[in-house]
Structures are given as structure tokens and as C-alpha cells.
Structure 1
Amino acid sequence: MNPFLWLILTVINIYFWIILAMVVMSWLVAFGIVNRSNPYVRQIGYALERLTEPLLRPIRRVLPDLGGIDISPIVLLIAMQFFGMLVTRVFVNLGWA
């Protein structure tokens, strides 16, 4: 496998898991299982928010308001999977894979 293709797919995979961690963290806070006043929870939440907001914010601007339901992570995960397949296809068609 091409090292550049491997790097791109690895970054997409890591970011995929970061988004899932952010979603789970928001659920845990929303259901009162973890408390944001805990310094460790606050630090993890802050780090996850800083990592995910730059890509989620533009998606939230485009999506209609659905009340309390935020589907922007789902849209981003689907877009990332599409981008990973597209990059793989381009590398294969160019003979670089």
C-alpha cells in the first residue's frame, strides 16, 4: 500500500474515533452519568470539542434546526467515509496503490 494512502486513511480512521468519543461524551453529560465539574471530564470534553468543532460547525450552519437533535456528526462521519473511498479509488486508478 502506498504510504500516503495509508497516512490519509489512518488520519480519517483516528478522526472517526474522535468524533464517536465526542458523541458518547455528550450523551454521558446529557444523561447525567458524568459531571462537567470534574476537572478530568472537563479537560477531555474541551479537547474533544476543540478537535471536532472546526469540521462540525460548518455542517451545523447548513443543516436545518431539528430541535435538540444534532445530526452533524452523522453527516461528517458519512462524508469522511466517502472521502476515504474516493481517495482510495483515485490512488488505485492512478496506479499508486
Structure 2
Amino acid sequence: MQSIFQILMLILDVLWFFIIAHVIMSWLINFQVLNLHQEFVARIWDMLNRLLEPLYRPIRRILPPMSGIDLAPLVALIAVYALRIILTNNMMAFY
């Protein structure tokens, strides 16, 4: 059972990394440091969007429009961190 706990924590860590990478990449694209006309950048951006859009979509439906500010990644990061806290506090259930 401990291995299930470790796998869940690993999945949450990878998800955390992808969300952070997506946020940083979106900033770099908006400030024109990265260009989506470059094939490598476009592929990574497309991959991150395909992975994270199913996670962001329900959050965006709940959040009100914030005049161009997307708070879905922030809410997703908070949710991932909350899941980590819940799993860590209930770790004894996995032993």
C-alpha cells in the first residue's frame, strides 16, 4: 500500500511541474520571449495545453471572468497542494 501512496505523490509532483511549466511558458509567450512559430516551442505548448486543458476547463467554468487574467492554473496548483496535504495526513491508511 505504501507504493500506491508513493505513486500518487509522484503523479501529483509531475502535475505540479507541468502546471508551473505551463504558466512560465505562457508568460514567456505573452512577453514575446518565446515564439510559437518555432516548431519545438509550438510542440511543447501544444502538449502542455492538451495535458492541462481537461484540468483547467471545469475550473474555468466555475470561476467568473477576470478581464483577461486566467486564475485556473492557480486554483489547480492549490488543489494539487491540498491533495498532497490530504494524502500526507492520511498516510497511515496506506500502511
Shorter-chain TM-score range: over 0.9
d(CA) in 2 for partners of 1:35, 1:88? 40
TM-score, normalised to structure 2's length?
0.93
| Identity value in percent | 36
Aligned to 1:47: 47
* Correspondence for 1:57: 57
Q: Deviations over 1:5-39 (max 9, x none)?
A: 00000100011000000001111110011111111
Please tell me whether residue 88 in structure 1 is matched to residue 88 in structure 2. Answer: yes
Q: CA RMSD in A?
A: 1.3
Deviation at 1:79, TM superposition (A): 0.6
* Cα-to-partner distance string for 1:21-71 (whole Å, 9 max, x where unaligned): 000111111001111111111000000101111101110110010011111
Aligned to 2:10: 10
Please give the TM-score of this superposition, normalised by the length of structure 1.
0.91
| Greater shift in the superposed pair: 78-87 or 13-22 | 78-87
CA-to-partner distance for each residue in 1:53-93, whole Å, 9 max, x for gaps? 1101110110010011111111111111111211222232x
Distance 1:55 1:49 in 2: 10
